[in-house]
């Protein structure tokens, strides 16, 4: 599901291409919500992935030039949300995240 990983395995390299890290519409998210009695369902375009910038930030944080853009706590919460979304889908129910 990660287009950057698939591209790297296929021998492509991130060369500043406009399309690098861009997911096809088939992988975009679906927002299905209700607000004030109005139901909405629509596609949500994925943000472009950029592993290079992520690892550059880690390097700069190690050498003291920047703060981490993604903290360990944020990474942990992201993994937890993904796990809960998968569980919610499997069990076909809403699961609370505290």
Bridge partners for 30 per DSSP: 43
Distances (CA, A) of 49 to 37, 92, 98: 34, 29, 27
Spell out the domain ranges in the chain: 1-49, 50-98
pTM reported for the whole predicted model: 0.62
Give 75: exposed, middle or buried? Use CB within 10 Å, 0-12, 13-18, 19+.
Answer: exposed
pLDDT digits (tens, 9 = 90+) for 13-65: 887 677 889 999 999 999 999 999 999 999 999 998 888 899 999 999 999 99
Q: What is the pLDDT of residue 97?
A: 87
Q: Say how far apart CA 91 and CA 98 lie, in whole Å.
A: 19
């Amino acid at each position: 599901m990660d287009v950057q990983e698939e591209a790297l395995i296929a021998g492509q390299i991130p060369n500043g291409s406009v399309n690098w890290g861009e997911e096809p519409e088939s992988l975009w998210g679906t927002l299905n919500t209700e607000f004030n009695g109005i139901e909405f369902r629509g596609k949500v375009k994925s943000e472009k992935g950029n592993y290079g910038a992520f690892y550059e930030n880690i390097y700069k944080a190690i050498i003291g030039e920047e703060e981490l853009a993604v903290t360990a706590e944020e990474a942990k919460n992201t993994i937890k949300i993904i796990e809960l979304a998968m569980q919610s889908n499997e069990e076909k129910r809403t699961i609370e995240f505290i």
